[in-house]
């Protein structure tokens, strides 16, 4: 830079010098004073317009400081600016990529700064903790969360600089099961902690599934043990001398027969359900009319309908659905069998339909015991029964409605129930219509 400055001053002097040797200027002192003033003024202007900005450049970019002359200085500055522009573009792109990764992550990411305040929270974390966008930024964890354990985790990692991982069960209103991994933010391994980075995963669904599986195994064991215990008890009684009494023997054998029959039904339902859940059975879809199927099922139930003096009416038109006939028969068997089981003597059962364009809705209504409102959301769960004793007494397995739900779901349909306690229930299911082409 010194050299360029020297070159500039020398150039200026050489440029103005002939004026000072002019005879006219020397001969008039007023003019010589003006020329000197003009010389310093134009020198100052040129310096502040051209050299001073270059000096600022040379401070910002030490690499171009040693340029041998003005043109080289300008060229190097240009090249350097180009490089800086490319670096800045790359940095902006990388930052944008990083931001989009963090924003689209399924896991929640939270960071705190060196003061312990929250400096970043991605949308997934905001969703997990039910926070409004940006509302946690700049706050301390204790101001954002009421859960002591969560706040303490951030504090521990910040103070000790040691990573921590924990699974937390958040109380209502969040009601979530979360896994948290917290690590200190440091520039290098032995440096001081600058903040905390937390990765949060939502394990609520997984935990729910695990609970369901455990519950299912417990339920199956219980359901199998009850009839087996009863069968074993009656056989023991018979072996202990009960065989001598013909009447009692007959009664016990009837019970044993009923219990083994129930076991058989339970195992068949379980196998059916597991096949449906695993998706290993393909649906054999074709054009299916509901009216003949309902008639078929009615015939199998006729004895019980007569026994209980139940009236049975069908209002079905000729609309066909796109379905697996055997599976839909299974749905009808379960729903109509329930209607018969849970309707007291003298009641009525009605099957009807409603047109919904591409879909057809079928409704099976009875004038039975009805279902309490609080039981309706759980009705299609495996082994859920409103009245356990009554269901057992009727020979139910508690799996019928979950089989129905699986079958209808696999047909891209929908099943739901409307019921009033003491008045009766209506089970609705919707299926896609058969399309002609």
Q: Summarize as ranges the residues that interact with ligand ADP (CB under 6 A).
A: 334, 338-339, 342, 366, 368-369, 371, 379, 384-387, 391, 396-401, 425
* Region of 96 on the Ramachandran plot (φ > 0 left; ψ -120 to 50 alpha; else beta): alpha
How many residues in total does the chain contain? 437
Structure tokens at 148: 């002591």
Residue closer to ligand ADP (CB basis): 121 or 328: 328
Degrees (nearest 5) of the Cα angle 85, 86, 90? 120
Smallest distance, Å, CB 123 to ligand ADP? Answer: 40
Q: In whole angstroms, how large is the CA radius of gyration of the chain?
A: 43
Residue closer to ligand ADP (CB basis): 39 or 384: 384
* Local structure of 369: helix, strand or coil: coil
Structure tokens at 111: 């960071």
* Local structure of 194: helix, strand or coil: coil
| Residues in CB range of 261: below 8 A, 6 or more apart | 395
Smallest distance, Å, CB 342 to ligand ADP? Answer: 3
Residue closer to ligand ADP (CB basis): 321 or 365: 365
* Local structure of 65: helix, strand or coil: coil
Residue closer to ligand ADP (CB basis): 185 or 333: 333
Chain residue whose CB lies nearest ligand ADP:
396
Residue closer to ligand ADP (CB basis): 331 or 401: 401
336 closest CA partner among 316, 313, 364: 364
Smallest distance, Å, CB 428 to ligand ADP? Answer: 12
Smallest distance, Å, CB 271 to ligand ADP? Answer: 15
Peptide bond into 97 cis (omega under 30): no
Smallest distance, Å, CB 284 to ligand ADP? Answer: 24
Residue closer to ligand ADP (CB basis): 269 or 353: 269
In angstroms, the Cα distances linking 195 to 156, 158, 179 are 11, 6, 20
How far is it, in rounded angstroms, from Cα 239 to Cα 232?
A: 10
Q: Are 401 and 379 in contact (CB under 8 A)?
A: yes
Smallest distance, Å, CB 217 to ligand ADP? Answer: 18
Q: Are 252 and 237 in contact (CB under 8 A)?
A: yes
Residue closer to ligand ADP (CB basis): 107 or 387: 387
Smallest distance, Å, CB 414 to ligand ADP? Answer: 17
């Amino acid at each position: 830079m010194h050299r360029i400055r020297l070159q500039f001053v020398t150039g200026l002097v050489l440029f103005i010098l002939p004026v000072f040797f002019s005879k006219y200027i020397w001969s008039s002192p007023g003019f010589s004073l003006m020329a000197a003033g003009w010389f310093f003024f134009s020198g100052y202007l040129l310096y502040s317009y051209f050299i001073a900005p270059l000096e600022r450049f040379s401070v910002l970019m030490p690499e171009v400081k040693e340029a041998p002359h003005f043109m080289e200085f300008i060229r190097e500055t240009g090249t350097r600016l180009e490089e800086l522009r490319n670096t800045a573009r790359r940095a902006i792109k990388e930052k944008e990529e990083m931001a989009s990764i963090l924003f689209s992550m399924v896991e929640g990411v939270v960071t705190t700064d060196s003061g312990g305040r929250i400096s970043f929270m991605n949308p997934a974390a905001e969703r997990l903790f039910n926070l409004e966008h940006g509302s946690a930024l700049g706050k301390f964890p204790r101001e954002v969360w009421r859960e002591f354990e969560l706040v303490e985790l951030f504090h521990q990692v910040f103070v000790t600089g040691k990573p921590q991982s924990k699974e937390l069960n958040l109380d209502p209103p969040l009601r979530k099961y979360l896994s948290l991994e917290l690590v200190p933010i440091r520039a290098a391994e032995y440096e001081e902690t600058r903040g905390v980075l937390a990765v949060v995963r939502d394990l609520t669904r997984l935990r729910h599934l695990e609970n369901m599986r455990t519950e299912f195994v417990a339920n199956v064991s219980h359901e199998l043990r009850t009839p087996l215990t009863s069968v074993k008890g009656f056989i023991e009684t018979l072996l202990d001398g009960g065989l001598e009494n013909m009447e009692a023997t007959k009664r016990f054998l009837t019970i044993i027969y009923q219990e083994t029959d129930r076991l058989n039904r339970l195992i068949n339902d379980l196998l059916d359900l597991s096949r449906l859940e695993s998706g290993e059975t393909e649906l054999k879809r074709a054009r299916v009319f509901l009216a003949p199927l309902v008639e078929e099922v009615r015939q199998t139930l006729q004895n019980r309908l007569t026994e209980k003096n139940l009236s049975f009416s069908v209002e079905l038109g000729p609309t066909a659905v796109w379905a697996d006939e055997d599976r839909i028969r299974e749905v009808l068997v379960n729903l109509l069998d329930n209607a018969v089981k849970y309707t007291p003597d003298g009641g009525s059962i009605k099957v009807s339909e409603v047109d919904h364009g591409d879909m057809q809705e079928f409704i099976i209504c009875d004038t039975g015991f009805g279902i309490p409102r609080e039981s309706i959301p759980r009705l299609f769960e495996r082994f859920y029964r409103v009245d356990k004793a009554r269901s057992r007494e009727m020979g139910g397995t508690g799996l019928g409605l979950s089989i129905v739900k699986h079958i209808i779901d696999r047909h891209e349909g929908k099943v739901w129930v409307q019921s009033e306690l003491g008045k009766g229930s209506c089970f609705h299911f919707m299926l896609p219509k058969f399309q002609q082409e």
